[in-house]
Amino acid sequence: MKSYPGSDIRNVAVVGHAHSGKTTLVSALLHAAKMTPSLGRVEDGSAVTAYDEEDVARATTMQNAVAFAEWNGIKLNFIDTPGFHMFVHEARSAMLPAETALVAVHAVNGVEAMTERVWKYAEEFNLPRVLVLSQMDHPRAAESAAGTLSTLHERFGRQCIPVQLPIAGDKGFEGVIDLVTMQAFSYAPGGDGHGKIGDIPAHLAEPAQRAHETLVELVAEGKDELMEEFFREGTIPEQHLITALHEAIREDRIFPVLYASGLTNVATDHLLDFLKAYAPAPIECAPVAARAALQAVAAGSGEASGEESEGITRKVDDAEPLSLYVFKTMSDPFAGRISFFKVFSGCLKNDASVQNFTRRTPEKFSHLSTMQGRNAVAVSELHAGDLGAVAKLKETLTGDTLGDKAHEIFFEPVALPEPAMTWAIEPKSRADEDKLAPAVHKLMEEDLMVRFFRDGQTNEFLIAAAGQPHIESLVNKLRKRYHTEVTLKAPRVPYRETIRGRAEAQGRHKKQTGGHGQYGDCKIKMEPLQRGGGFEFVNDIFGGAIPRNFIPAVEKGIQESAARGYLAGYPVVDFKVILYDGSYHDVDSNELSFKLAGRLAFRKCMEQAKPTLLEPIMKVDIEAPQEFAGALMGDLNQRRGRVQGMESHGASTLIHAEVPMAEMLTYGQTLTATTQGRGSFHMDMDHYDIVPQPIMEKIVANAKKPAGEEEEE
Ligand SMILES: Nc1nc2c(ncn2[C@@H]2O[C@H](COP(=O)(O)OP(=O)(O)OP(=O)(O)O)[C@@H](O)[C@H]2O)c(=O)[nH]1
Ligand SMILES: [Mg+2]
């Protein structure tokens, strides 16, 4: 395939609320550009960007997918992103390699929670936004569109301005009027997305003229020479208007609003034209910010000097040194690892050797390609600004920067949220156990949010991800792709134990067996420390009651016993031990004896020191439409949650609360059910707090008593 210079490329992140029609729209755009023989559907996996087996099964996008359209001499790269709240962080990751955010807003549902979220992301990345009111074929679209438009004004400002007017005919949504050129484009719904140019229907002539003037005025605003021209001539010549609108979009002074239907493929070729004419090309954008680690001057050391790195920028230009950023990794059981990247500067040739700066290793770029969904299309080179892909890099992962070895540079990787939910994952058989870790690591390559580890206490395998659907999709992939069967269990809450009172005890270990006996004896005091204080050990022995070399053994015995817990098998924390006395035997004392003595003293102290359980408390932020606030607060109450504050943002409410982790294990499901999928939440571990007595009693009763503790003296 032909390679396109940076002036002839548009990188568009397609973002919006779940089910607003993004994947269908991308499919329609590709079909309109004749990239596909028919209009692909999300439901049967024939939409180009809906190839992942789990995405198809759930009819929702769970991770970014890339496709391109060659259209009238340019290449449009689309990144189709998830709108479901649990995966919407992917949309944020898609903004780094894009120069335009195409925000799909369901014409009938209007602005929804994730519309606002992706808008914030676009603001954060300074991305020009093009709004498209989607699913215009809906029977109520025509009447709802006006309301949706005014919500857009309310939420995102009056810069959201229509550059089209929709045309409704006998068959519903049939076309659009271009308010710049004042031409009408009409379509056969269900066709190939190609419009016929014609005159503006008589009944729309006047509204179109008014909308045109509103647009012209807004474009001219703040531009003196345009204003003067506008007042002098009463209008602005078309070419001036096009240039000025392009500039206004690039500078976020105008967020144009268009109309389309993906499902019936109406007004899609015009959307492609619009993006070609008005979306910024990569080379037009401000230079990208990056960091350059200062290299050590010493020749041949090859090491970074460790000095503070300095902020620099790179122009999106073929003449600059090569640099590229990996924004996605796909782990294909057959093709292996495929890395998706954006060439930020320089020109990347097939078979190039490229340095991975993040991992300090060279990589070979063989079979350079550009992705059409899951299929790679070979290219011989990629110019600055283009998106491409390559298979079988050895070490490269998402977030890495690579480039010309002589010009080290780092682009800041897009940060991901912490996983919100952890589950225990149990292999079904011995064979599954062997396959589990390598398979999960493959999945982790394509999804950096996933964590996989072993619980230090229970030895269980744990997997952490964004929420239940996320974990379930991972389990399905393990089965289908890697033939690894597992079962999921609710994870153990990492409780801790602590003391609330002081205690004092003696631990004496004495055994007489045949030859050498064993003898160790210690006296300790125990007292609580502040939350987070951990463990403190004070040696207060005077006069050699215990020889110095045995004191660490006492400490070790206490620590080992504390790690195994006293009440319910959870580690004891936040306490201080003072070793103040003891005795020893010249022949029979050894390290083991003092360890056992320490252990005995600790357990005796625990009996008296009012032991109790601590539980992790999560800081939870919940966002949902206002009408659900009452129900959500009631539910939080039932979960022993403490609401810390509430804010309202337009039609949505943000609730901040602190809730015990034990009560949040299945919160995702409840939230989805309560808010009809319109709420989202995020939580982070905040602190440990004492478990209320009745709950503690239950946990203790359920816990197996730790085995192997000697009670004898
Ligand atoms: N009537 C109509 N239905 C549409 C249109 N576009 C999408 N749909 C339907 O709406 C549902 C969601 O469409 P998708 O294209 O998957 O929406 P999405 O925005 O990609 O959704 P997520 O990936 O979950 O964020 C599907 O059932 C589509 O068939 C449209 O233009 N008209
Ligand atoms: Mg989708």
What is the C-alpha separation between 166 and 189, in angstroms, rounded?
14
Q: Residue 354 corresponds to which tokens in the numbers above?
A: 């490229």
Pocket of ligand 1 contains residue 132 by CB under 6 Å: no
The CA distances from residue 554 to 27, 508, 580, in Å, are: 69, 11, 12
CB-based burial, 529-546: b 16+ in 10 Å, e otherwise: eeeeeebebeeebeeeeb
Does residue 570 sit within a domain? yes
Angle formed at CA 252 by CA 249 and CA 255, multiple of 5 degrees: 60
Rounded Cα distance, 174 and 159, in Å: 26
Last residue of a domain, one of 546, 577, 609: 609
What's the total number of domains in the chain?
5
SS3 544: coil
Same domain for 118 and 90: yes
Nearest CA to ligand 1 atom 11: 19
Same-domain check for residues 137 and 275:
yes
Q: What is the DSSP letter of 533?
A: -
Cβ within 8 Å of residue 508, ≥6 positions away: 520, 521, 522, 597, 600, 713
Do residues 25 and 113 both lie within one domain? yes
Near ion ligand 2, which residues have CB within 5 Å?
22-23, 61
Ligand 1: does its nearest atom lie under 6 Å from the Cβ of 106?
no
Residue that is last in its domain, among 552, 583, 609: 609
Q: Which atom of ligand 1 is nearest to the CA of 104?
A: 19
My answer on whether 172 and 58 are in the same domain is yes
Query: Distance from first CA to last CA of the chain, Å, rounded?
Result: 82
Closest ligand 1 atom number to CA of residue 114? 25
CB 266 within 8 A of CB 193: yes
| CATH (domain of 500) | 3.30.230.10
Q: Answer yes or no: is 416 within a domain.
A: no
* Whether residue 61 has its Cβ less than 6 Å from ligand 1: yes
List strand residue ranges (DSSP E) for 248-321, in order.
255-259, 288-292, 310-314
**In this structure, are residues 430 and 424 in contact, taking their beta carbons and an 8 Å threshold?**
no
Beta bridge partners of 332: 336
Q: How many CA atoms lie within 13 A of 386 on its CB side?
A: 30
Distances (CA, A) of 383 to 82, 321, 326, 635: 28, 12, 15, 54
Residue 59 Cα to ligand 1 midpoint, Å, equals 9
Supply 80's token pair: 């189709």
Contact in structure between 309 and 380 (CB atoms under 8 Å): no
Q: What is the pLDDT of residue 704?
A: 60
Residue found under tokens 């070399």? 549
DSSP 309: P
Both structure tokens of 498: 């602590």
Longest dimension (CA), the chain: 115
- Residue 542: the pLDDT is 86
Tokens of 378: 């070979």
Residues 267 and 124 in one domain: yes
Q: Is ligand 1 within 6 A of the CB of residue 42?
A: yes
Residue 151: name the closest of 131, 165, 167, 136 by CA: 131
Burial of 528 (0-12, 13-18, 19+ CB in 10 A): middle
What torsion, rounded to 10 degrees, do the Cα atoms 542, 547, 553, 554 define? -30
What are the E-state strand segments in 63-111?
A: 65-71, 74-80, 100-106
CATH number at residue 642: 3.30.70.240
* Residue 165 sits in the same domain as residue 40: yes
Identify whether residues 430 and 381 lie together within a single domain: no
Number of the ligand 1 atom closest to the C-alpha atom of 61: 23
Q: Whose CA is nearest to atom 32 of ligand 1?
A: 135
Tell me the backbone φ, ψ of residue 211, rounded to 5 degrees.
-65, -35
Question: Do 258 and 123 share a structural domain?
Answer: yes
CATH of the domain at 162: 3.40.50.300
- Name the residue range of residue 694's domain: 613-699
CA of 16 to the centre of ligand 2 (A): 9
Residue 574 in domain = yes
Q: What is the CA radius of gyration of the chain?
A: 32
Q: Is 138 in the pocket of ligand 1 (CB under 6 A)?
A: yes
Long-range Cβ pairs for the range 474-480 (8 Å, 24+): 474/440, 474/443, 474/447, 474/450, 475/425, 476/53, 476/54, 476/57, 477/53, 477/54, 477/443, 478/436, 478/439, 478/440, 478/443, 480/53
Mutate to test the pocket of ligand 1, among 23, 62, 84, 106 (most ligand atoms within 8 A of CB): 23
pLDDT for residue 680: 81
Please tell me the distance from the alpha carbon of residue 509 to that of residue 514, in angstroms, as a whole number: 16
Q: Are residues 469 and 526 in the same domain?
A: no
Q: Report CA(20)–ligand 2 centroid distance (Å).
A: 8
Nearest to 407 by CA among 296, 307, 320, 303: 320
Q: Which pLDDT does position 703 carry in this prediction? A: 79
Structure tokens at 685: 């571990």
**Residue that finishes a domain, picked among 557, 579, 609:** 609
Cα–Cα distance, 181 to 212 (Å, whole number):
9
Integer Cα distance of 81 and 108 in angstroms: 21
Is 414 a domain residue?
no
Is the CB–ligand 1 distance for residue 268 below 6 Å? no
pLDDT at 651: 77
Residue 195 inside a domain? The answer is yes
CA of 245 to the centre of ligand 1 (A): 30
Q: What torsion, rounded to 10 degrees, do the Cα atoms 593, 598, 601, 602 define?
A: -140
Q: Is there a contact between 343 and 386 (Cβ–Cβ < 8 Å)?
A: yes
Q: How many CB atoms lie within 10 A of CB 234?
A: 9
Q: What is the DSSP string of 432-479?
A: HHHHHHHHHHHHHHH-TT-EEEE-TTT--EEEEESSHHHHHHHHHHHH
Write down the pLDDT at residue 612: 96
For residues 554 and 453, state if they share a domain: no
In a domain, 372, yes or no: yes
* Whole-number Å distance between alpha carbons of 576 and 588: 29
- The helix/strand/coil state of 688 is strand
Q: Do 97 and 31 reside in the same domain of the chain?
A: yes
Which residues, given as ranges, of the chain have pLDDT below 50?
Answer: 294-308, 705-713
d(CA 684, CA 98): 30
Does 235 reside within a domain?
A: no
Q: Are strands 310-314 and 288-292 parallel, antiparallel or unpaired?
A: antiparallel
The pTM assigned to this predicted structure is: 0.79
CATH number of the domain to which 461 belongs: 3.30.70.870
Phi/psi of residue 537, each to 5°? -125, 125
CB hemisphere CA count around 319 (13 angstroms): 1
Residues 409, 411: Cα–Cα separation, whole Å: 7
pLDDT of 332? 82
585 and 529 in a common domain: yes
Q: What single-letter DSSP state applies at residue 35?
A: S
User: Does any domain span residue 585?
Assistant: yes
